[in-house]
């Protein structure tokens, strides 16, 4: 996935002018999945919610088609994330960063 097309933003961050805004809480059950241990939520195929898998897949298709999306979490005021900065994702609390990884 081209990460310049996807950005995670916090509650007080501005939406990019040329992007589509997606809210983490649009996917019912996503937070429940992301609250699990890393080994559980990082295995996409083991998710018990088909609708959440479809939500993630739809976002991936949007990016594949060239759409820029901003994923807005509701847990952070600001998200400072450099693409490829997912080294400590196992310890991450931000839902938006988890979705991006």
- pLDDT reported for residue 1: 44
- pLDDT reported for residue 81: 60
Placement of tokens 């990016």 in the chain: 63
Give the chain's residues under pLDDT 50: 1-2
- pLDDT reported for residue 28: 86
DSSP lists the bridge partners of residue 72 as: 9, 23
pTM: 0.74
- pLDDT reported for residue 68: 93
Q: Calculate the dihedral angle through the C-alpha atoms of 87, 91, 95, 96, rounding to the nearest 10 degrees.
A: -20
Cα gap 46→4, rounded to integer Å: 28
Degrees to nearest 5, angle at CA 47 with 79 and 53: 65
């Amino acid at each position: 996935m081209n990460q310049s097309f996807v950005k995670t933003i916090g509650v007080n961050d501005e939406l990019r002018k040329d992007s589509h805004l997606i809210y983490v809480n649009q996917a019912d059950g996503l937070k429940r999945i992301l609250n699990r241990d890393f080994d559980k939520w990082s295995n996409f195929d083991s998710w018990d919610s088909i609708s959440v898998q479809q939500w993630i897949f739809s976002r991936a298709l949007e990016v594949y088609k060239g759409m820029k999306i901003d994923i807005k979490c509701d847990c952070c005021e600001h998200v400072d994330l450099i693409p490829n900065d997912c080294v400590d994702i196992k310890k991450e609390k931000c839902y938006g960063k988890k979705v991006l990884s």
